[in-house]
Amino acid sequence: MNKEIAVIFDMDGVICHTNPYHSLAFREFFSTRNLNPTDEEFAAHMFGKSNSYIMSHFLQRKIESAELLELEEEKEGLFRKIYEAHVDPITGIVPFITDLHDHGVKLGVATSAPKANLDLILSKVPIREMFGSIMASENVTKHKPDPEVYLTSAKNLQVDPSQCLVFEDSFSGISAALNAGMKVVGVLTSHQKEELPPCDLYINNYTELSFDQVKKLLS
C-alpha cells in the first residue's frame, strides 16, 4: 500500500474518446446558428477548453451567467444524446486504474465538463467507486489552464501536489497540471506530442502502464 501518491485523470480524451462526439454536438449546435467551424478551428479552440471559452470564441461575444447555463445545457444535452450509445473506455484504462487502486494509490478525476457528462461516463465505465475525488466544471470557479481543479483534487485526496501524477490530453489541461506543480502524462488522443507542453511521459493508451511505472515517475 502507498497512500502518499495520487493519480488524477482528466475525462474527455483521457478516460474515453469523447472528442469526436463533442465535435458532432458542437457542429449541430453551431449549425442552427449558421456557423460552420473547420476541423482546425475546433482543434485550436475546442479540445480541453471550457464551454464559456468555446461559445464566446465562436459566437464572437462574451457568453456568461444565465445565457451560458442555457446554451451549455443545450449543447451538452446534444452530446449526451449522441454519445450515450457509444461510451467506450480507452484501451487498458480500467485494468490500469484497478491496479493503482489495489496498490493503495489515491485516485481522482478532474474534468472541465459538466457533472452530467461525467455521471454518464461513470455510469457505464466501472471506476467510480475507486475515485476518492470527483470534480467537474460546477466544482471550480476558474477553469483550466488555471490549476484550481488539480490543486483542489490534491487537497481532497490529502496528497501534496508534488506527489500527484496527472493524465491529460489537451494543451490547457496539461498546462493546468503543470501550473499545479504536478507530473503529467500526455495522452495522445487529441493532439500530437509536438502540439502539447512537455510531459514526463506520452502514451496512446494504457495497455503497457502499471503501478510500478507510476511510482517511478513520482520518485
Annotate 83-112 with DSSP letters as a single string.
HGGG--BPTTHHHHHHHHHHTT-EEEEE-S
Q: Could you tell me which residues come within 8 angstroms of residue 213 by beta carbon, excluding any fewer than 6 positions away?
A: 201
What are the cell numbers at 20?
Answer: 469526436
What are the cell numbers at 60?
Answer: 464572437
Q: Which amino acid is at 129?
A: E
pLDDT at residue number 1: 39
Sign, Cα dihedral of 160, 118, 127, 215: negative
Q: Locate the domains of the chain by residue range.
A: 6-17+88-218, 19-85
Residue with the larger pLDDT of the pair 98 and 19: 98
**pTM of the predicted model, to two decimals?**
0.91
Burial class (CB in 10 A: 0-12, 13-18, 19+), 167: buried
Give the whole-angstrom CA distance, residue 219 versus residue 217. 6
What are the cell numbers at 66?
Answer: 444565465
**How does pLDDT run across 59-86, given as a tens digit for each residue?**
999 999 999 999 999 999 999 999 999 9
Q: Could you tell me which residues come within 8 angstroms of residue 163 by beta carbon, excluding any fewer than 6 positions away?
A: 4, 5, 6, 218
H-helix or E-strand spanning residue 7: strand 6-9
What are the cell numbers at 98?
Answer: 484497478
CATH of domain 19-85: 1.10.150.240
pLDDT at residue number 51: 85
46 band by pLDDT with thresholds 50, 70 and 90 = confident
**How does pLDDT run across 126-165, given as a tens digit for each residue?**
999 999 999 998 999 998 999 999 999 999 999 999 999 9
**How does pLDDT run across 89-107, given as a tens digit for each residue?**
999 999 999 999 999 999 9
CATH of domain 6-17+88-218: 3.40.50.1000
pLDDT at residue number 151: 98
147 preceded by a cis bond (ω within 30 of 0): no
Q: Could you tell me which residues come within 8 angstroms of residue 14 by beta carbon, excluding any fewer than 6 positions away?
A: 90, 167, 168, 169, 187, 189
How confident is the prediction for the chain on average, in pLDDT?
94
Calculate the CA 169 to chain-centre distance: 7
Give the whole-angstrom CA distance, residue 85 versus residue 193. 30
pLDDT at 2 over 80: no
Burial class (CB in 10 A: 0-12, 13-18, 19+), 168: buried
pLDDT at residue number 3: 53
Longest dimension (CA), the chain: 55
